[in-house]
Amino acid sequence: MLRYWVVATVALLLVTVGLATEKDEKEQPRIKKSATVEYPEQLKQAEIEGEVLLKVVIDEKGYASMVETIKATHPDFIPAAMAALKLMEFEPAEKNGRPVSAEAVLPFRWVLKDKKSSHDASLDEIKMLLSSVVESGRWRGPDSLIGSDARLLVEGSESSLLAALREKSSIGRLVGGTRVKVSSIDITRGPGSQSAYLIMRTQSGGKENVRLHSIFLTKDEKGNWRVRLWHAS
């Protein structure tokens, strides 16, 4: 008998609060209360897995509005994601200690497996690999770490993450400066350890600019980690 996991709403991927300096610090919106996400029965019976990315605006009071679907592998997953969103509660983003409105991306993922994989790639190794991209300006692979449908969101545009990592000019746009150093990097596992959310802060140009990298990962059917979304703001 198949067992089902719904890996959903691991964390908020920050989209727009803007670049910050050391004197203009910002904090991303946070999930205050999560919600159970239903697996659409027809898709579950057909053994169809999927993912939905919702872009929302979290206002100064922590309410979500202006919901937009930016990715859905199957349209029948969208109502389930929307229903869960209505039950969720948020803490607003902060800028200079004051609550502000901010856009964010919520990832929802539906996964079904007959058993949990015993293989669990090292997230510490992944952290080192991804941080080396922004510090060296080069992608050293392996390409298998990047999901085939992984997306990159940066400077208001969306593109294929893997294609961007293969182009030096695209990596430069992702990095956002020269002499880039990683100032902090944290990673949080989602429910059932089937997903993870990585937050990386970088400084460039003599520590004048701070960039926030939000990276969402999930495990594939073999239990290997894959990057699904990378957003730089």
What does the pLDDT look like over 116-152, one tens digit per residue?
Answer: 443 344 787 888 888 888 888 888 778 888 888 888 8
Write down which residue in 96, 115, 134 finishes a domain: 115
State the total domains in the chain: 2
Write down which residue in 82, 115, 148 finishes a domain: 115
Q: How far apart are CA 110 and CA 17, in angstroms?
A: 29
* Residue 139 contacts residue 34 (beta carbons within 8 Å): no
Instruction: Quote the pLDDT of residue 186.
Output: 85
Q: Do 73 and 125 belong to one domain?
A: no
Closest CA to 92 of 55, 67, 130, 61: 61
Write down which residue in 115, 136, 159 finishes a domain: 115
* Residue 110 contacts residue 74 (beta carbons within 8 Å): no
Q: Do 33 and 69 belong to one domain?
A: yes
The β-bridge relationship of strands 146-154 and 225-232 is parallel
Q: How far apart are CA 189 and CA 194, in angstroms?
A: 8
Q: What are the structure tokens assigned to 133, written together?
A: 């991209």
Could you tell me the pTM of the whole model?
A: 0.55
Instruction: Quote the pLDDT of residue 75.
Output: 93
Residue 153's domain comprises 119-233
Instruction: Quote the pLDDT of residue 126.
Output: 83
Neighbours of 159 (CB within 10 A): 15
Closest CA to 77 of 122, 114, 32, 107: 107
Q: Do 73 and 25 belong to one domain?
A: yes
Q: Do 123 and 109 belong to one domain?
A: no
Q: Do 27 and 109 belong to one domain?
A: yes
- What's 191's domain CATH number? 3.10.450.50
Low-confidence ranges of the chain (pLDDT < 70): 1-27, 113-121, 177, 191-192, 205-208
Instruction: Quote the pLDDT of residue 192.
Output: 66
Dihedrals φ, ψ of 7, to 5°? Answer: -95, 105
Q: How far apart are CA 130 and CA 107, in angstroms?
A: 20
Q: Do 168 and 225 belong to one domain?
A: yes
Q: Do 76 and 182 belong to one domain?
A: no
Q: How far apart are CA 39 and CA 46, in angstroms?
A: 11
